[in-house]
Amino acid sequence: MALILLIIALSTIAHIAQGHFTFVRVKADGEWKSPLQYIRNKTSPYDELKFYEGNFLYRYYNWPTYIIDRPESVRCGRDNMNHAQGTEVLSVKAGDTIEIAHQREEPENWTDDMFYNCTDDRGSCFHKLGWVQDFNHPGPLLIHLSKVPSSQDIRTYDGSGEWVKIHTLGLTNPRYGQPLNWTLYRSDPPHITFKIPAQTPSGQYLMRMDLIWSGATNEYINIGDDGSLAQMYPSCAQLNIQSESKAEFPKGVKIPEIFQPLEPGMTTSWDMLNNQKLDENYTYPGGPLWNGEDLVVDKPVVLE
């Protein structure tokens, strides 16, 4: 009986196998860079460690990453270290504004009109299957930076050090007891812009971009067992940040550890997963947020 309930429960959140997304484009200095310029590519298809929810061991480019996958996949995307050497390093200044864009089509089908001459100066647009470049999952967008150890070059750094969250784009006007409105989960998502904190010290950094769809627990599902695991969509840009700041870069969190199912924001109630209502004390995943001065608990401001 329990097994049947589990299967039914999972099928209600059966995730479509294709048409997810990857952040593949960055705008800096007011200019959109080429797709995958400065961003580590991924290998596709690529074998992960375990089967999960109808995903084959072989995962395709835009398919989700789960906590049971290889640590490297959770950090910066499947097989990213094999692509690091061939990826350029983007020079930016601390305090600069960055914009990023995602793509839902698999690379073999990318065409220029999915990236160039988009309306409203978007970094991606148009989908030949008739989709807009929206996000098909609710959840927060998270941006993290990891400082490359001074003994290493960014092209050999695997992100096994610490990560500091610098930006979250989560819920719009959340209220307890009300349906949720995820800022990016709509047909016309806003531009994704944020600043590299001006206090960031000089150095090379990996910049991790992700939108996380939480897993859920309910009476039928035990997380960490055969329960529902969060879906992640990580990719990383290689940055060289120039800065006047002499501030210390704050203490960060480790990946994949911070994305384990029992860490804040990674597993929500069934109601929250279905956008019915906000969990009490919900905290965005990925550790505290650095506002340039302090590390703060990263929670939505809940309206009365």
Ligand X SMILES: *[C@@H]1O[C@H](CO)[C@@H](O)[C@H](O)[C@H]1NC(C)=O
Binding stretches for ligand X (CB under 6 A): 36, 41-44, 61, 106-109, 112-113, 116-117, 172, 181, 264, 281, 283, 297
Angle in degrees, CA 216, 219, 222, rounded to 5: 60
- Cβ–Cβ contacts within 10 Å for residue 111, how many? 10
As to burial, measured by CB atoms within 10 angstroms (0-12 exposed, 13-18 middle, 19+ buried), residue 231 is buried
Contacts of 191 (CB under 8 A, 6+ apart): 99, 120, 122
Contacts of 250 (CB under 8 A, 6+ apart): 164, 290, 295
Nearest distance, CB of residue 159 and ligand X, angstroms? 19
User: Which residue from 270, 271, 296 is spatially nearest to 284, judged by alpha carbons?
Assistant: 296
- Asked whether the beta carbons of 269 and 216 are under 8 A apart, the reply is yes
Of 119 and 281, which CB lies nearer to ligand X in the complex structure?
281
Nearest distance, CB of residue 201 and ligand X, angstroms? 27
Tell me how far apart the alpha carbons of residues 154 and 9 are, in angstroms, rounded to a whole number. 43
Of 115 and 213, which CB lies nearer to ligand X in the complex structure?
115
Sole residue written with tokens 């992960």: 48
Of 108 and 225, which CB lies nearer to ligand X in the complex structure?
108
Of 227 and 287, which CB lies nearer to ligand X in the complex structure?
287
Nearest distance, CB of residue 44 and ligand X, angstroms? 4
Tell me how far apart the alpha carbons of residues 127 and 112 are, in angstroms, rounded to a whole number. 11
Tell me how far apart the alpha carbons of residues 136 and 22 are, in angstroms, rounded to a whole number. 12
- Asked whether the beta carbons of 50 and 226 are under 8 A apart, the reply is no
Of 36 and 196, which CB lies nearer to ligand X in the complex structure?
36
Nearest distance, CB of residue 107 and ligand X, angstroms? 4
Nearest distance, CB of residue 116 and ligand X, angstroms? 4
DSSP label at 294?
A: -
Of 260 and 283, which CB lies nearer to ligand X in the complex structure?
283
Contacts of 279 (CB under 8 A, 6+ apart): 268, 269, 271, 272
Nearest distance, CB of residue 230 and ligand X, angstroms? 15
Of 201 and 264, which CB lies nearer to ligand X in the complex structure?
264
Nearest distance, CB of residue 153 and ligand X, angstroms? 20
